[in-house]
Amino acid sequence: MSQESVIRMRLNELETRIDQIQKTIKNLPAGILKIDQNGPYVKWYVLNRQKEGVRSMRTYLPKHKLALAKKLALKTYYAALLEDLKTEQIFLKKTLKQEENALPANSAEKLLQDQAFRELLPPEIRSVEEEIHDWQNAEYARNPYMPQELKVPTLAGISVRSKSEAIIADSLFERGILFRYEPGIILNDGRVVYPDFMVRNRYTQLELPWEHLGLMDDPAYIAKNTEKLQRYSASGYTPMVNLILTFETRTHPLSRPQVMHIIDQFLL
């Protein structure tokens, strides 16, 4: 996947997300939340602008109006996130035109560093760092097939089934790319498939299955994996778009430069 394709995919995601957030904000109460903190004491206020050019009115929110404070906190967070997404959208559009521009802002992430503000937000709202940490440390279903074959050590501290898989795992580890080894995912036909790796794009945070097909000179192996790829396709996975594939034969083994090229294309 080219860098242009990655950017266009992200722009489509941004457009959808921006539209969703704008609709959500319209259904939240009027006003802006302001938090004053003096030591352990926290006070909430609502800022309401009466008309253009007039200073906003500041109204104290007592503790029994916690529900309103939470809705305003959510609105404030979504407004900041909307600003970030629009800034990123502008940046990416200019990048497509090969124009230099500053990196996008990070207002929403900064809001999440304020503990008093954070306590008013729903727990499912997480910072990017928290989401990455959770993904990295979460338990997941693993391939139960012949665990005794996991004999090849890797730099990531896990053992894999082949030297080629070790090349992939080591390359991902060295580039700082998050991955899971042989995780179970459910396809649209209801059956579970275990890709060799599930990787996360560092920029878009998209999760991509990575299948390494290592016996491409074996007709039976090719037939089996052709059926597997058809199942992926029926579930919306397109090879070399949102499904990474690498190949090798006995005479043409997988190389580290090939893997690094794939990482540069899809994951950085």
Question: Which pLDDT tens digit goes with each residue over 229-268?
Answer: 999 999 999 999 999 999 999 999 999 999 999 998 888 7
Quick: pLDDT tens for 126-185: 888 888 888 988 999 999 999 999 999 999 999 999 999 999 999 999 988 999 999 999
Q: How far is CA 147 from CA 143, 157, 160, 245, in A?
A: 8, 16, 9, 23
Q: Is the pLDDT of residue 223 over 70?
A: yes
Token code pair at residue 158: 């896990």
pLDDT digits (tens, 9 = 90+) for 44-92: 999 886 555 666 788 999 999 999 999 999 999 999 999 999 998 988 8
Q: Which range among 3-12, 101-110, 183-192 has the greatest average pLDDT?
A: 183-192
pLDDT tens digit sequence for 182-198: 999 999 999 999 999 99
Is 47 in contact with 36 (CB distance < 8 Å)? no
Q: Is the pLDDT at 8 greater than 60, yes or no?
A: yes
**Per-residue pLDDT, 209:** 97
Q: Which CATH architecture has domain 135-266?
A: 3-Layer(aba) Sandwich (3.40)
pLDDT of residue 230: 96
| The overall pTM is greater than 0.85 | no
Q: d(Cα 41, Cα 44) in Å, to the nearest integer?
A: 10
Lowest mean pLDDT among 3-7, 28-32, 118-122, 193-197: 3-7
Higher pLDDT, 107 or 147: 147
What pLDDT, on the 0 to 100 scale, is given for residue 138?
92
Q: What is the pLDDT of residue 100?
A: 47
Q: Is the pLDDT of residue 206 over 60?
A: yes
CA nearest to 239, candidates 200, 202, 195: 195
Size of the chain in residues: 268
Give the residue extent of every domain in the chain: 3-125, 135-266
Contact 2, 95 (CB under 8 A): no
Q: Please give the pLDDT value at position 264.
A: 87
**Lowest-confidence region among 92-101, 197-206, 236-245:** 92-101
Q: Which of 205, 214, 208, 206 shows the shortest CA–CA distance to 195?
A: 208
pLDDT band at 1 (very low <50, low <70, confident <90, very high): low
- Structure confidence at residue 211 as a pLDDT band (50, 70, 90): very high
